[in-house]
Copies of this chain bind each other. A is one copy, B any other.
Amino acid sequence: MEISKLGEFGLIDRLTSDIKPVNASTLLGAGDDCAILGYDGATRQLVTTDLLLEGIHFDLVYTPLRHLGYKAVMVNLSDVYAMNGTPRQITVSLGIDKRLQVEDIEELYAGMRLACERHKVDLVGGDTSSSVTGLTISITCIGDAPEKDVVRRSGAKPTDLICCSGNLGAAYLGLQLLEREKAIYFQQLKEGKISPDAPFQPDFAGREYLLERFLKPEARRDIIDALRKAGIVPTSMMDISDGLSSELLHICKASHVGCRLYEERIPLDYQTAAAAEELNLNVSTCALNGGEDYELLFTVPLALHETIEQLDDIKIIGHITDADDGPVMVARGGSEMTLKAQGWQHA
């Protein structure tokens, strides 16, 4: 059977759904942003891992190695924040092919170390080897949280408010702009309009924010800190890496609830809207399905409405409903649609 028939989530489900933990220290296995471990003490350990492969997750034509290192760490930290934890340690494994020099790997590491410094994380080991198959980066992050503070995907309750940090779709549009300029660059090379050793240096003036959101995302420690300061422990939380629709559906499935998401409340930056217009894309589709936002999606009890509204950079975008009501998006015109992971359809 072709793997594409099952998709990533289907394949993982097929391979791991019948796994039963045998160790007392395994409190939660696969299926959330992090696994949850517990030893002798009230602290919980949170473990997450991400594999970044050249040609799939990044393109060295337009990705500076320093940014790549920064992002590779950041996407892992984001998973720990999404459990309401504090990232503490990372391990870094690299497969390095012959194109890359020591100075290139130093650039990559400089980005990783900057990310670690900013988020007070220790690089505690890893594995480095040569590669005949492109640059490979595998990072595992371990974080911690007091037992009572750990937030899973599965705790959302009907009437809970659905909240989202920052804004969505910007990284996706940053990627589209980079891909468009790359295509133009290679076309010009092919037609001999530019010299074969001309660097890839398109003019992205006015679009810097979108590029930065894609190339150098920032995990939202500030949001976690603000929630803690306000005394709020979300009932459920995830980071938005695969797109708002996909993540919200994960929360609905894990929590056995439905949702009502209001299209008009989805937070957008004006550069995102402008670039979507220019590229002839529906900006809501970009925000719902684009992914790589690394914002936090979480739910809080309805009673916290006013407290949440006073926090910076957090928007209430809908509320949780009974499972029977299903996952619903209310479009700008007021019509209702069933929320789907890839695009959506009229209900």
A residues at B contact (CB < 8 Å): 1-3, 5-6, 8, 11-12, 14-16, 19, 21-23, 25-26, 28-31, 34-35, 37, 39-43, 45, 47-51, 53-57, 88-89, 91, 93-96, 100-103, 105-106, 109, 113, 120-134, 136, 138, 140, 142, 144
Q: Is the CB of A40 within 8 A of B42?
A: yes
Q: Is the CB of A125 within 8 A of B30?
A: yes
Which residues in B have their C-beta under 8 angstroms from that of A56? 95, 129-132
Which residues in B have their C-beta under 8 angstroms from that of A11? 102, 105, 128
A347 to chain B: closest CB distance in Å? 31
A313 to chain B: closest CB distance in Å? 27
Q: Is the CB of A96 within 8 A of B3?
A: yes
Q: Is the CB of A49 within 8 A of B93?
A: yes
The distance in angstroms between the C-alpha atoms of A29 and B91, with both chains bound, is: 9
Selected contact of A45 from candidates B15, B45, B121, B132, CB within 8 Å: B45
Given contacts A49-B93, A134-B133, contact A3 B43 (CB under 8 A): no
Q: Could you give 26 example pairs across A and B, Cβ below 8 Å? A: A1-B101, A3-B101, A3-B130, A15-B106, A23-B89, A26-B122, A28-B124, A29-B123, A29-B124, A30-B123, A34-B125, A37-B45, A37-B89, A39-B45, A40-B43, A45-B142, A48-B91, A49-B125, A50-B93, A50-B127, A53-B131, A53-B136, A55-B131, A56-B132, A91-B140, A133-B133
Q: Is the CB of A133 within 8 A of B130?
A: no
Which residues in B have their C-beta under 8 angstroms from that of A131? 53, 55-56, 133
Which residues in B have their C-beta under 8 angstroms from that of A21? 122, 124
Selected contact of A140 from candidates B30, B49, B100, CB within 8 Å: B49
Selected contact of A53 from candidates B23, B25, B95, CB within 8 Å: B95
Which residues in B have their C-beta under 8 angstroms from that of A124? 21, 26, 28-30, 35, 37, 47
Selected contact of A142 from candidates B8, B37, B57, CB within 8 Å: B37
Q: Is the CB of B133 within 8 A of A12?
A: no
Q: Is the CB of B12 within 8 A of A128?
A: yes
Which residues in B have their C-beta under 8 angstroms from that of A103? 1
A152 to chain B: closest CB distance in Å? 13
Closest to A50 in B: B127
A71 to chain B: closest CB distance in Å? 15
Which residues in B have their C-beta under 8 angstroms from that of A126? 12, 30, 49
Closest to A39 in B: B43
Q: Is the CB of A100 within 8 A of B26?
A: no
The distance in angstroms between the C-alpha atoms of A43 and B45, with both chains bound, is: 13
Q: Is the CB of B15 within 8 A of A127?
A: no
The distance in angstroms between the C-alpha atoms of A93 and B51, with both chains bound, is: 6
The distance in angstroms between the C-alpha atoms of A120 and B21, with both chains bound, is: 9
The distance in angstroms between the C-alpha atoms of A16 and B39, with both chains bound, is: 29
Closest to A24 in B: B88
A110 to chain B: closest CB distance in Å? 9
Closest to A8 in B: B128
Selected contact of A88 from candidates B25, B50, B55, CB within 8 Å: B25
Q: Is the CB of A136 within 8 A of B23?
A: no
Selected contact of A41 from candidates B28, B41, B102, B123, CB within 8 Å: B41
